[in-house]
Structure 1
Amino acid sequence: MPSTLRPSLIALAAAAMLAGCAVGPAYQRPSAPEPASYKELQGWVPAAPADALERGPWWTLFGDPQLNELAASVEVSNQNVAAAVAAYTQARALVTEQRASLFPSVTLNGSGTRSGTRGGGSGNATVDPNGNIIGGGSGGGSVRNAYRLSLGTSWEPDVWGRLRAGVTAASASAQASAADLASARLSAQGELASNYLQLRAVDAQRALLATTIAGYQRELRIQQNRYNVGIIPHSDVYQAETQLANAQSDDLTLVRQRAQLEHAIAILVGKTPADFAIAPIPQGQAQFAFFVPEVPVGVPSTLLQRRPDIAAAERRVAAANEQIGIARSAYFPSIGLSGSLGSSASRVGDLFNASSAAWSFGLSAAQTLFDAGATRARVAGARAAHEEAVARYRQTVLDAFADVEDQLAATHVLSQQQELQRRASEAADKVEQQVLNRYNAGQVSYTEVVQAQITALNARRALVTTQSTRQTTAVALVQALGGGWHAE
């Protein structure tokens, strides 16, 4: 190698190893709408940021041991979560792969061949000092051995920052995948909690109907006896039968709903519906503890830190930003360094002799002179992809704030509705009893009794439904806030 070329190659390699010129734009998190406070907070006390950032088994605050057990099994059994875990593992592997491109690659090659020729002479074969067979026999000819061993290396210095941009983009994508995993986990846990609480509400409805159906059956027997002795017309018996059949039909509707909810829970915990069952609450238990925990709501700025879907969208913006630099690096020449050290010999033992060694060191550079605007198009496409990612990030933020506002409004309204429906149920129960007393005294027809009983039953069921909706709304609010909260 000429002495004038070697120093310049070494200087170029050293410069490339130190630091390259980044061709991509510096990343800044895009701005997004961020209100000072929630519109629907309405008297709620904002949680301290440290508390709002705490995550944990939020479902335990509902005080149901079976819900705690089921929610914990989602982490290890739900297949959507398992798929998200696998996707995150793939993303991390891609980061390692991209980071490896920053370092030289080294290869070791070895070969051995044995070749010969056939001659027309005769005589005895001879062996030369290198072990090759020359001549011999009636066929003549010769046999030669050739062995080669080489160590090669190649490296693409990251002069323009393209490789580092690839690593940064892969890291951002891996972080987005981690946020997707958190979203999948939170979604599965929230869906399970909501389905379980609805199932328990169905149990409460069935317990309520069981008591009502038992009462309707007693009344049907009483009306049948009264009709048999001629006290009442047959129409009163028909009304009692209709009322009982309708209540029994409603119970069968609840049986179907419960089965669907139980099947959905089975899938969420990674089991087949045939292998999973949740025992109902006792049929005689007409009351159900609809405990609704108070959810401390943080200031809006913490939502950007808590929501995993927002975090995933922001990390995808960062990855798209790095793709601009990767596309722009095509404007600059690609530079490569290569070297090799090897030896060849006719005997294996001679491969390691210094006299048979040969080395090489090379520098390559390539620059695209004309590509009909392809590079410019790729840069424009990368910029457009970045703008799309920014728009999706901002839309995700807007949707998140709307989600929180919706759940806050629902929580506030449902609390008021529950109180009103509690009063309505108590009043309907009193009316039912008064009408039944008047009927027994012969003052009103049985039709009025039926109407009063239907009104009372509907009021009780509406109260149970509202109580259950408050619970599922609390679950939805936890999800809207990005996870659980810290409970002192």
Structure 2
Amino acid sequence: MKRSNTGSRCGVLAALVLAALASGGCAVGPEYRDPPPVDTGSGWSQPADSNVAEFNNSTWWATLGDPDLTRLAEAALANNLDLQQAQAQIDEARALRDRAAGGHAPVVEIDGSVMRRRQSANGPLPIASIPGVERDQTIYDAGFDAGWEIDLFGRTRRALQSADAVVQAAQAEAVGVRISIAAEVARSYLSLRGAQRELAARTGSVTALTLTRDLVEMRLEAGDAAQAEVDAVDARVAAAEAGIPGIEAQLRSAALELGVLLAQPPERELALLETTADAIVLVPIPLGERADILRRRPDVLAAERRLAARTADIGVATAELFPKISIGASGGFQALDADNLLASTSQTFSVMPLISWRVLDGGRVRAEIRASEARQTQAAVAYEQTVLAALGDAERALANYRLGLEAVERRSRAVEAARRSYGHAQDRYRAGDIALAEQLAEERNLRDAEDAYARTHTSAAVALVALFKALGGGWEGQSDLQAPANARSAVDAITHRNAPEK
């Protein structure tokens, strides 16, 4: 019994497919599992505060209890243009990932053509001598070409692993942008409110100094004071007034910055200058374990994912050292008469298994492997650097905020003492025990204390925002921008590996 050529070709094709499937687990290059170990220490360098109230870390700005701050932060996170760019970068990374995944599928092209040609009667084929064959011919052709490269050594799989990691790094970086935007909004808003309180205290001080100058001028006219006293008070009035334009500039700059952060015209939030708000309450916040920030910090997670991508790239480069097996197939119809194009006798078909192996290339592939390994080393060092920088950032932010709280407490006591002293001065003035000038001096002391308190409180509030940012606050609950599960698992492995023994 005679076996058809078609059956033989199908058998070869089936054997090659089975061979490819059997080798599906083979992928050259290193297998990425965990990032390199980094010594994260045993805990915070300062003791954690006990009995600390809980905060909603995912929306910490709302926990601060200022409706305007909450409104601004939510509007910025919905509209900010940097966030829109970050989302577009995620979309780009996903598209490139889909392109890499397409390497597993065959490529099929459909074509059709009509060709009119004239052959030479004196050429290799003696057209003039062959009965029934004309020199002028019209050839109708319709068919397809298909090609499939079998991923025998995992080049496509490694490329897909790299693309997956790049997508996850883009997601983590987008969350980093989100955290930064929320922190910038809070910083600008709290600076604006703090500058308002500072301006009120400075204006009160100028008012008290102006009244003092008027009194000294009256004494000068009465002959009870010298011109030097008037000049001294004038100098103090001028110095106090000189600080007001700078504070007003800070106010306007903060309001304009808020408009831009909300992806609106800069003047959008100038109306905030016409309103006031109570100062936020500054209290210690829960820190958790120091290693927890490695699970929340998007820069750490992004660095870990970039390391995973660079590791997979080594496999992509290494696969070029090995043979490539591909299968090409084509089929269709060809005829000299359009009426016969779809007839069974016009069918054409071919299958061509192909093995190619780059034997000599001047060392280019091995050079690319070394370059990929160097890029992986760079990514590993960058990861370690990012982890240590994140820990340092958190420690500095914690120290700044704790010292800021201490400074606020001391300034608060100074204000209370100055307020009591001013109250005593008012009572003594009403009783006729002291002159108005002495009462005004106590009022100036109070206004100066309030001015210093406003600046100290603003500095501490900004330090609180920096601490939330350093701890990775604002990550949780971000739907599409969640930390990749495998990235978190890898970081968990590192934090557990570096945890102190109990």
Q: Same fold (TM over 0.5)?
A: yes
Q: Cα–Cα, structure 1 residues 189 and 349, in superposed 2: closer, same or farther, change >3 Å?
A: farther
Where in structure 2 are the equivalents of 1:286-301 lying within 5 Å? Answer: 288-292=278-282, 294-301=284-291
**Contact 1:62–1:293 at 8 Å: present in 2 too?**
no
CA offsets, 1:117-152, max 9 Å, x none? 9xxxxxxxxxxxxxxxx9xxxxxxx97543210111
User: CA offset at residue 359 of structure 1?
Assistant: 0.1
Q: Which residue of 2 aligns with 1:40?
A: 46
User: CA offset at residue 277 of structure 1?
Assistant: 1.5
**Contact 1:293–1:474 at 8 Å: present in 2 too?**
no
Q: Which residue of 2 aligns with 1:303?
A: 293
User: 1:210 & 1:407 partners in 2: Cα distance?
Assistant: 32
Q: Which residue of 2 aligns with 1:129?
A: none
User: 1:441 & 1:235 partners in 2: Cα distance?
Assistant: 27
Q: Cα–Cα, structure 1 residues 169 and 46, in superposed 2: closer, same or farther, change >3 Å?
A: farther
Q: Which moved more, 1:392-401 or 1:4-13?
A: 4-13
- Of 143, 147, 156, the residue aligned with 1:150 is 143
- Of 87, 98, 102, the residue aligned with 2:89 is 87
Question: What letter is aligned with 1:149?
Answer: A
Q: Which residue of 1 aligns with 2:252?
A: 259
User: 1:64 & 1:190 partners in 2: Cα distance?
Assistant: 15
Q: Cα–Cα, structure 1 residues 267 and 143, in superposed 2: closer, same or farther, change >3 Å?
A: same
User: CA offset at residue 23 of structure 1?
Assistant: 0.4
**Contact 1:45–1:297 at 8 Å: present in 2 too?**
no
Q: Which moved more, 1:288-297 or 1:156-165?
A: 288-297
CA offsets, 1:333-360, max 9 Å, x none? 1111110111112344422211100100
Question: What letter is aligned with 2:290?
Answer: P
User: CA offset at residue 397 of structure 1?
Assistant: 0.8
CA offsets, 1:177-208, max 9 Å, x none? 00010001111111111111011100111111
Question: What letter is aligned with 1:169?
Answer: S
Q: Cα–Cα, structure 1 residues 293 and 418, in superposed 2: closer, same or farther, change >3 Å?
A: closer
Where in structure 2 are the equivalents of 1:383-398 lying within 5 Å? Answer: 383-398=373-388
CA offsets, 1:26-55, max 9 Å, x none? 1122222223321123334699xxx99x75
CA offsets, 1:148-193, max 9 Å, x none? 1011110101000000110110000000000010001111111111
- Of 28, 31, 43, the residue aligned with 1:26 is 31
Where in structure 2 are the equivalents of 1:43-122 lying within 5 Å? Answer: 43-44=49-50, 56-114=58-116
Q: Which residue of 1 aligns with 2:452?
A: 462
User: 2:231 & 2:97 partners in 1: Cα distance?
Assistant: 75
Q: Which moved more, 1:475-484 or 1:11-20?
A: 11-20
Q: Which residue of 1 aligns with 2:18?
A: 14
Q: Which residue of 1 aligns with 2:225?
A: 232
**Contact 1:46–1:297 at 8 Å: present in 2 too?**
no
**Contact 1:155–1:338 at 8 Å: present in 2 too?**
yes
- Of 411, 424, 434, the residue aligned with 1:421 is 411
Question: What letter is aligned with 1:37?
Answer: G
Query: Secondary structure of 2:359's match?
Result: coil
User: 2:368 & 2:441 partners in 1: Cα distance?
Assistant: 73
Q: Which residue of 1 aligns with 2:129?
A: none
Q: Which residue of 2 aligns with 1:170?
A: 163
User: 2:373 & 2:337 partners in 1: Cα distance?
Assistant: 59
Q: What RMSD over aligned residues (CA atoms) do the two structures have, in Å?
A: 3.3
Q: Which moved more, 1:408-417 or 1:63-72?
A: 408-417
**Contact 2:30–2:314 at 8 Å: present in 1 too?**
yes
**Contact 2:192–2:254 at 8 Å: present in 1 too?**
yes
Matched, 1:198 2:195: no
Q: Which moved more, 1:457-466 or 1:428-437?
A: 428-437
Matched, 1:368 2:358: yes
User: 2:291 & 2:338 partners in 1: Cα distance?
Assistant: 71
User: 2:440 & 2:388 partners in 1: Cα distance?
Assistant: 50
User: CA offset at residue 271 of structure 1?
Assistant: 2.6
Q: Which residue of 1 aligns with 2:210?
A: 217
User: CA offset at residue 428 of structure 1?
Assistant: 4.1
Q: Which runs of 5+ in 1 are unaligned?
A: 118-133, 135-141
Query: Secondary structure of 1:361's match?
Result: strand
- Of 451, 465, 475, the residue aligned with 1:475 is 465
**Contact 1:321–1:386 at 8 Å: present in 2 too?**
yes
**Contact 2:52–2:285 at 8 Å: present in 1 too?**
no
User: 1:454 & 1:46 partners in 2: Cα distance?
Assistant: 37
User: 2:139 & 2:278 partners in 1: Cα distance?
Assistant: 88
Question: What letter is aligned with 2:90?
Answer: Y
Question: What letter is aligned with 1:462?
Answer: A
**Contact 1:33–1:397 at 8 Å: present in 2 too?**
no
Question: What letter is aligned with 1:22?
Answer: A
User: CA offset at residue 7 of structure 1?
Assistant: 3.7
Question: What letter is aligned with 2:175?
Answer: A
Query: Secondary structure of 1:149's match?
Result: strand
Matched, 1:356 2:346: yes
Q: Cα–Cα, structure 1 residues 242 and 40, in superposed 2: closer, same or farther, change >3 Å?
A: same
Question: What letter is aligned with 1:304?
Answer: L
Where in structure 2 are the equivalents of 1:309-458 lying within 5 Å? Answer: 309-429=299-419, 456-458=446-448
Question: What letter is aligned with 2:17?
Answer: A
- Which of 1 and 2 has higher RCO (CA within 8 Å, sep 6+)? 2
User: CA offset at residue 68 of structure 1?
Assistant: 1.2
User: 1:46 & 1:251 partners in 2: Cα distance?
Assistant: 38
User: 1:145 & 1:293 partners in 2: Cα distance?
Assistant: 88
Q: Which moved more, 1:417-426 or 1:175-184?
A: 417-426
Indicate the percent of aligned positions where both proteins have the same amino acid.
28
Query: Secondary structure of 2:273's match?
Result: coil
User: CA offset at residue 411 of structure 1?
Assistant: 2.3
Q: Which moved more, 1:355-364 or 1:253-262?
A: 253-262
Q: Which moved more, 1:193-202 or 1:215-224?
A: 215-224
User: CA offset at residue 24 of structure 1?
Assistant: 1.8
CA offsets, 1:308-353, max 9 Å, x none? 1111000001001101111111110111111011111234442221
**Contact 1:76–1:82 at 8 Å: present in 2 too?**
no
Query: Secondary structure of 2:104's match?
Result: coil
Question: What letter is aligned with 2:26?
Answer: C
User: 2:115 & 2:96 partners in 1: Cα distance?
Assistant: 39
User: CA offset at residue 9 of structure 1?
Assistant: 4.3
User: CA offset at residue 8 of structure 1?
Assistant: 4.3
- Of 246, 251, 260, the residue aligned with 2:239 is 246
Question: What letter is aligned with 2:147?
Answer: S
Q: Which runs of 5+ in 2 are unaligned?
A: 120-133, 477-502
How many residue pairs align between the two structures? 458
**Contact 2:208–2:443 at 8 Å: present in 1 too?**
no
